[in-house]
Structure 1
């Protein structure tokens, strides 16, 4: 059970929205309020307003934009990742490689471009809560192009031993597959997929699926 902004007990997932554009922030908050599976736990329009919400940590998902006025949100993402178990999803108009990579390296679990984001926030939030990594196709293309194995040194690969199946699972994630799609492809349970993910996180010393994919591609551990 969780607690919403009014203090009422609810089983809905608690969401904090960090967005500097007031109309966009209002639209996100309205979409969350309409969804019975979600509860708005807080909202902020700039870095200073966001900081106490993140320090308090009373949320299950942090929904955050990259640009917060004159500042970026990467340090807020890092702060949340370091101190809370909450999932972190970026929703931004910025889809350039530097923004995407910086957000994922800071600890973001998903990265959604704002095109179409207002229609159904419930689906990507449900995905990120389930341990998946919702990523817009345009963002995925940036990741794959940035981390082509042929352009990266493979020295890190020698220090991390991944099993054949671990490499297969990670490759499917790099191609954008969901947990369910991976389970179906290899005829294994969702629980088993989750076990593989935990092992990959431990071996690669990361804490998100996106970071695992990035590190593996960069080091040449997997090929697409």
Structure 2
């Protein structure tokens, strides 16, 4: 019996994911990619906000992948509701994005999203984004960084962001990737990722408003 328990303890934990997407072809592609990935299990898929609202409190996934434009509303509404849900459960949230859609991504981050990934990305990129989200990583692009610099400038960034957070944003806005930003600032990539999460959290705090949470 002790040997059986030892083997069970060696089994890596499964990362649970829930998908909100109304495009059947895209949803099928994402579900297939998740099904092929080791250590990931999709616990549900909804093509409407109403369905997601009903199922998420029961499924309680670790990562939520959500489109924003849905037939019965905006995915940002769902994200805002989840952000105010009981502290015992809150998923890491990634939203779909397309080039030139930075404004909607920023609104989703303000509502509580942890990051985004591009529609049409490769399967490895999708899986990397999901796994990264589960570890607390928050992706950021030059376009998003430039948008954030403008947003924080209007809120007196010197009082909101730390000196290093401002430096990270400025370098990302110039096109440097995380490893290059880390090298230029004498930091580790992990610390850079921590700064990005901190920037997103401050953006959310600036724009957080009370909402009715999802039912238990």
Q: Once the two structures are superposed, what CA deviation does each residue of 1:82-121 show, in whole Å capped at 9, x if it has no partner? A: 3343211112457434422222221222222212344642
Runs of 5+ in structure 1 lacking a partner? 1-8, 212-224
Matches within 5 A, 1:5-154: 11-56=13-58, 58-83=60-85, 84-93=89-98, 95-118=100-123, 120-135=125-140, 140-141=142-143, 144=146, 146-147=147-148, 149=150, 154=154
8 Å CA contact 1:54, 1:76 repeated in 2: no
Q: 1:142 to 1:182 in 2, by over 3 A?
A: closer
Partner of 2:170: 171
Q: Distance in 2 between matches of 1:101 and 1:201?
A: 9
8 Å CA contact 1:87, 1:129 repeated in 2: yes
Partner of 1:6: none
SS of aligned partner of 1:121: helix
**Structure 1 residue 67, shift from structure 2 partner:** 1.4
Q: Distance in 2 between matches of 1:93 and 1:201?
A: 19
8 Å CA contact 2:110, 2:203 repeated in 1: no
Q: Distance in 2 between matches of 1:91 and 1:195?
A: 22
8 Å CA contact 1:132, 1:179 repeated in 2: no
Q: 1:194 to 1:123 in 2, by over 3 A?
A: closer
SS of aligned partner of 1:28: helix
Q: Once the two structures are superposed, what CA deviation does each residue of 1:184-207 show, in whole Å capped at 9, x if it has no partner? A: 4434345655665676677x3647
**Structure 1 residue 170, shift from structure 2 partner:** 4.1
Q: 1:168 to 1:79 in 2, by over 3 A?
A: same
TM-score norm. by structure 2 comes to 0.69
Runs of 5+ in structure 2 lacking a partner? 1-10, 208-216
Q: Distance in 1 between matches of 2:196 and 2:121?
A: 29
Q: How many residues of Structure 1 are paired with residues of Structure 2 in the alignment? A: 193
TM-score norm. by structure 1 comes to 0.67
* Greater RCO, CA 8 A, separation 6+: 2
